[in-house]
A and B are shown apart, each in its own frame.
Chain A
Amino acid sequence: MSILSLKNITLVKGEKTILHDITLDIWEGYVHAVVGPNGAGKSSLAAVIMGLSGFRDITGDILFENRSIVSLSVDARARLGITLAWQEPARFEGISVFEYIRFSAKRKTLEDVRKALQLLGLDPDRYARRKVDQTLSGGERKRVELAAIAAMEPKLVLLDEPDSGVDIEAVERIFAMIQALKEKGTTVVLITHSAEVLKQADHAFLLCNGSLVRKGETARILPYFARECYPCVHPNAPVLKEVEAV
């Protein structure tokens, strides 16, 4: 069953068409990936689904659990169970990791916050009192964000480049967290230009220059993404090495 449906979504900014007539269904309980080279429009698509400012002026419709959400604010969408993790999470001065996870959390006991941190490989005794500010490294900040999302237990989560800025060991944790979310029934949408992340998905959408060019099981999209993704001419197209490693 589809939890989220995009119907003919087009996003134009100035002269540029960022997303062009995108229609797709996100099936409930699966891990999906939106792949494509840098600049393809993946993050814009996530922003449109979340309803972020600057991404609300669209044509088309978005249905969440069969109900149109295009007129809803970000927080109203979040309260329906949709959330988004930015590629580069915001920093918050003066707010502790504990507080940060707790206000997101569905269950707010100390034990629940500790569990969420542990799931991402963060020792609660070392991290709970730290501030969610510049003193966390990029990778630590990212894991705190994902811990907050795990604690939130959303119905649908959009994870934008979940591996970026994170060391290899932590990437394994993040992959485990994605599978744990799935087991709890959360529908996951991975936004990525990495074949490694794509492999975590059951199902994938290939985006190129703002258009949906292909969709299907990950096993079918993966080789296509590796071989054919270049027509999408862009200065930051995926590096050959990374693609060959698939």
Chain B
Amino acid sequence: MTEVERKALAAELLKSIHAPHYGPGESHVEIHGGKVVGMSLVEGLEVVSESMDVDDGEGVRVRIRVPQGIKIEKPVHLCFGMVGERGLQKIELDVELEDRASVMFQAHCTFPRALDISHLMDARIVVGEGARYRYVEKHIHGPSGGVTVVPKTRVKVKKGGQFYNEFYLIEGSAGIVEIDYEVESEAESSVDMRAFLYGKSNDRIKIREAARLNGENAVTALITHIALKDTAQADVLNELYALAPGARGHVDCKEIVQGKAVARAVPVVQVEHPAAHVTHEAAIGSVDSKQLQTLMARGLTEEEATDLIIRGLFSDKDWEVPL
């Protein structure tokens, strides 16, 4: 690939995520298929990548490391995607935050013209002692839903570490989504995982989020808010195991179902220590009739009112988790 082709692909990826402007000191990495097409890093942030062979597709291995005590102040922008209609993108991501390091990722996964694209992500994340990791991932899919997204993530949070993850799949059609997150956490750590998805037409969404609180006073929140319409379906499995004294966890699964959509939620909460505490709340239902009629009594059509209520479901994230 020539430098010109590389630049053109990077520009096209960024255009599909509404051409963000990166300020000075903000690192960014753009990966198209199996190739890094753009990259700019601040000091202290180490990113190593290599292409790998994948049958019928493109693959890349990316290793990100933040050394001990290093705090990356500005957000690090990651953009993964494919601008074509068909393909397979496989990413192996290895992230290590050494003790007391901190970093904040803003990731986009973009497949604006997808008719048949698979995006397989295998991530392994280690958050060191007292380190802080924050990752916000937004998916932007085309309208035809031809994407299969399979993110599999294994996380280890060491003593006093913080892991925060936010996942959005709201724009465009989700397609087939199979999220599988597993987190193990040590003493005094905090884990907060939030997922917001909008399933439309024939989308199929499967989510498994599992957290094992192994250390004393570890806290975890698993939050999943999903809206579904048409004939979309979603299955959510939240597993929370509180295994040490003072460990506390909260599971919150809300799903708004319209049309012929189907939602299922299975919370598994297990407490193995008398001084541990876990709560869960699940609400699955159609759009609340009183909310709907209130908005309609202000002149919004049923459709506009429904959109507003669903937007609320997705922006309902700055609340305090009851831990």
Contact of A74 among B297, B309, B316 (CB under 8 A): B297
Which residues in chain B, 272-318, are within 8 Å of chain A measured between CB atoms? 288-291, 293-302, 305, 308-309, 311-317
Query: By the criterion of a CB under 8 Å from any partner CB, how many residues of chain A are at the interface?
Result: 26
Closest to A99 in B: B308
Which B residues are in CB contact (< 8 Å) with A135? 319
One of A79-87, A195-203, A233-241 at the interface: A79-87
Given contacts A90-B290, A92-B291, A95-B308, contact A73 B296 (CB under 8 A): yes
* Bound complex: CA A79 to CA B308 (Å): 18
A78 within 8 A of B: yes
A104 within 8 A of B: yes
A92 B297 Cβ-Cβ under 8 A: no
Closest to B301 in A: A75
B290 A148 Cβ-Cβ under 8 A: no
The SS class assigned to the B binding surface is helix
Which B residues are in CB contact (< 8 Å) with A79? 299
Which A residues are in CB contact (< 8 Å) with B295? 103
Chain B interface residue number, banded: 20 to 34
Which residues in chain A, 47-72, are within 8 Å of chain B measured between CB atoms? 50, 52-53
B297 A83 Cβ-Cβ under 8 A: yes
Closest to A82 in B: B297
A93 within 8 A of B: yes
B291 A94 Cβ-Cβ under 8 A: no
Given contacts A53-B289, A86-B290, A103-B308, contact A93 B296 (CB under 8 A): no
B296 A78 Cβ-Cβ under 8 A: yes
* Bound complex: CA A74 to CA B296 (Å): 6
A185 within 8 A of B: no
A121 within 8 A of B: no
Contact of A104 among B288, B290, B298, B309 (CB under 8 A): B298
Given contacts A94-B313, A103-B308, contact A152 B298 (CB under 8 A): yes
B293 A52 Cβ-Cβ under 8 A: yes
Closest to B318 in A: A131
A94 B311 Cβ-Cβ under 8 A: yes
Which B residues are in CB contact (< 8 Å) with A124? none
Closest to B291 in A: A90
B315 A78 Cβ-Cβ under 8 A: no
Which A residues are in CB contact (< 8 Å) with B314? 94
Which B residues are in CB contact (< 8 Å) with A94? 311-317
* Bound complex: CA A50 to CA B295 (Å): 12
* Bound complex: CA A53 to CA B299 (Å): 15
Q: How far is the CB of A173 from chain B (nearest CB, A)?
A: 21
Closest to A79 in B: B299
* Bound complex: CA A89 to CA B305 (Å): 16
B294 A75 Cβ-Cβ under 8 A: no
Which B residues are in CB contact (< 8 Å) with A93? 312-313, 316, 319
Which B residues are in CB contact (< 8 Å) with A77? 297
Which B residues are in CB contact (< 8 Å) with A133? 316, 319
Which A residues are in CB contact (< 8 Å) with B317? 94
* Bound complex: CA A103 to CA B299 (Å): 9
A103 B291 Cβ-Cβ under 8 A: no
Which A residues are in CB contact (< 8 Å) with B293? 52-53, 74
Closest to B320 in A: A135
Closest to B254 in A: A93
Contact of A90 among B288, B302, B313 (CB under 8 A): B288
* Bound complex: CA A152 to CA B316 (Å): 25
Q: How far is the CB of B208 from chain A (nearest CB, A)?
A: 24
Residue among B294, B297, B313 having the largest count of chain A Cβ atoms under 10 Å: B297
Q: How far is the CB of B285 from chain A (nearest CB, A)?
A: 13
Which A residues are in CB contact (< 8 Å) with B294? 86, 89-90
Contact of A103 among B288, B300, B313 (CB under 8 A): B300
Which B residues are in CB contact (< 8 Å) with A148? 298
Q: How far is the CB of B163 from chain A (nearest CB, A)?
A: 23
Which A residues are in CB contact (< 8 Å) with B308? 95, 103
Which B residues are in CB contact (< 8 Å) with A52? 293
Closest to B317 in A: A94
Q: How far is the CB of A234 from chain B (nearest CB, A)?
A: 25
Residue among B288, B291, B309, B312 having the largest count of chain A Cβ atoms under 10 Å: B312
Contact of B298 among A53, A73, A83, A95 (CB under 8 A): A83
Q: How far is the CB of A92 from chain B (nearest CB, A)?
A: 5
* Bound complex: CA A86 to CA B308 (Å): 19
* Bound complex: CA A131 to CA B317 (Å): 11
Q: How far is the CB of A204 from chain B (nearest CB, A)?
A: 24
5 A-B pairs whose Cβ atoms sit less than 8 Å apart in the complex = A73-B296, A78-B297, A93-B319, A95-B315, A133-B316
By a beta-carbon cutoff of 8 Å, the part of chain A in contact with chain B is 50, 52-53, 73-75, 77-79, 83-84, 86, 89-95, 103-104, 131, 133, 135, 148, 152
Given contacts A94-B317, A104-B299, A133-B316, 7 further A-B contacts (CB under 8 A): A53-B293, A74-B293, A78-B297, A83-B299, A89-B294, A93-B312, A94-B316
- Which 3 residue pairs of A and B lie closest in terms of their CB atoms, listed nearest first? A94-B316, A94-B312, A78-B299
By a beta-carbon cutoff of 8 Å, the part of chain B in contact with chain A is 288-291, 293-302, 305, 308-309, 311-317, 319
